[in-house]
A and B are shown apart, each in its own frame.
Chain A
């Protein structure tokens, strides 16, 4: 298999903040106190309010891989960053190092865990649970090998190169119905 980089594509105009992706993730990982995917509210520059769905971004230069002393992390040829919990010693370095706080320490095992992009579903030719659950198709899987994304936030984010592509929010089109007397 040729190396590629799968990633999530989020259409910020489409996302309505229904949290279906978050719930689907929680349904898949019922033993987690919080789902790997979470939806946050934010104030964008063009819309009064927006929603941002985030989980592990399967970075091109994963910080978790660099800091892990036990070598638990590996990046598959399709770009998915996997965590091997059998080797994990629960030191929590990956939790602190990840700029997106994607890995979490599970309270019942004391080991780290993170989103694996539902790799077993991908192997069956299906979409990850969160992508499949999105009713407005705001969340998709795409190949980011060709995409150039200019990250500007903190230097670490620019360095890790998260595999996340945003389609910027457009100004919503508003249609007003006029009454017969010409008033709105």
Chain B
């Protein structure tokens, strides 16, 4: 009895400990962590029992042992926190007392191992997040030092990195946001790992920040990156259909680690201002913000005055005649002045759209063929959108 316990103590890892108990008792055992992932097993543990344990995770969490009739399952709990489950392919009633004692001893030692691993992971994550915070906010004295430190985390910070920021479009209640962000983190990691070498993901102030190096020559353009992000977004939505709407902002590619902070701020600005164009599920590149960057520096009241000055007659006409000329104009600019695309989006014929545009010209008293008029009206439409979303 003492010998087997001593051997159990001597074994250092999960598999080693399981094998010691297997050798003394002949039982087949399996260890699952709290997410239901397999952490260790003896060689002949039945596949059906393992799939049953994985399938009935909810029953395990509720400590309902009825589905596991032929098994003995022990929840591994430390400080009221669940770390996993240890299962043996033998009912407790059929175990000899000394076998059950050894099984209990094994559960205690495995609980300690899982708890210790969890604590270590949490500490590593904390240090990693602090290191990334320093990079994202330029909180370091020497770039060389940071590049050297990055090597400890397998980050090649001497290479150019893209910065992408992901955020939910609607505020979510309490813990739900954190839980969903963690899920989003996992999903993005799995999607991006397939395309990029070691993408770096970090949760920061209710945003998911993604850094990945660009080893392409010439480097990818922001348009290419937006396409990759759109594909990744579609994949994430496919894998996780219930996820609330989220938007993506992409910063410019900067070549030194000292400029990652700038790319990060650009990505955040793209995300924030991009919502004036597409309020939900948008992907915005900093380079594409255009005049929005300038408009963001102007007070909302001034923007409102400007929009009213240019588009006021159109709004008045719409309200008096119950028409949608302003909406038509906005869609026309949104669709890059393409008549077929704008008509499709408005569910009208292209000729109807042509007539509406003529009517708009008449109401506003301008000629849209003139570049300065077109520019003015387009900016007024953007200003109006900012005003609507801000007030």
On A, residues with C-beta under 8 Å from B are 1-3, 60-63, 65-66, 68, 71, 73-77, 97, 99, 148, 152-156, 158-159
Contacts and interface: CB of A to CB of B under 8 A. Distances in A.
19 contacts: A2-B126, A3-B133, A61-B269, A61-B272, A65-B262, A71-B258, A71-B261, A71-B262, A73-B138, A75-B261, A77-B133, A152-B391, A154-B296, A155-B272, A155-B276, A155-B295, A156-B297, A158-B272, A159-B272
Given A66-B269, A153-B300, 19 more contacts: A2-B126, A61-B272, A62-B265, A71-B259, A73-B138, A74-B139, A74-B140, A74-B261, A75-B139, A75-B261, A76-B139, A77-B130, A77-B134, A97-B297, A99-B297, A155-B276, A155-B296, A159-B268, A159-B296
Nearest to A97: B297
A80 B126 CA distance: 20
Contact of B265 (A61, A77, A154, A158): A61
A61 B300 CA distance: 20
Contacts of A76: 137, 139
A104 to B, nearest CB: 18
Contacts of A2: 126, 130
Contact of B137 (A65, A148, A152): A65
Interface string B176-187: 000000000000
Interface of B is mostly: helix
B138 A154 contact: no
**Most-contacted residue by chain A among B139, B258, B259 (CB, 10 A):** B139
Contacts of B297: 97, 99, 154, 156
Contacts of B273: 155, 159
Contacts of B171: 148
Interface residues of B, number: 32
A45 to B, nearest CB: 15
Contacts of A97: 297
Contact of A66 (B140, B265, B276): B265
Contacts of B298: 154
B101 to A, nearest CB: 43
Given A152-B391, A153-B299, A65 B386 contact: no
A74 B260 CA distance: 12
B275 to A, nearest CB: 9
B390 interface: yes
B205 interface: yes
A66 B266 CA distance: 7
Nearest to B269: A159
B103 to A, nearest CB: 40
A2 B126 CA distance: 8
Contacts of A61: 265, 268-269, 272
Contacts of B204: 3
A114 to B, nearest CB: 15
A99 to B, nearest CB: 7
Contact of B130 (A1, A65, A68, A152): A1
A53 B130 CA distance: 32
A159 B268 CA distance: 8
A74 B135 CA distance: 10
Contact of A156 (B126, B133, B261, B296): B296
A173 to B, nearest CB: 32
B262 A74 contact: no
A73 B140 CA distance: 10
Contacts of B272: 61, 155, 158-159
Nearest to A145: B205
Contacts of A155: 272-273, 276, 295-296, 300, 386, 390
Interface string B115-158: 00000000000100110011001111000000000000000000
A158 B269 contact: no
B173 to A, nearest CB: 12
B208 to A, nearest CB: 15
Contacts of A156: 296-297
A176 to B, nearest CB: 38
Contacts of A152: 300, 390-391
A13 B390 CA distance: 27
Given A62-B265, A65-B262, A159-B272, A75 B137 contact: yes
B163 to A, nearest CB: 12
Nearest to B295: A155
Contacts of A73: 138
Contacts of A3: 129-130, 133, 204
Contacts of B296: 154-156, 159
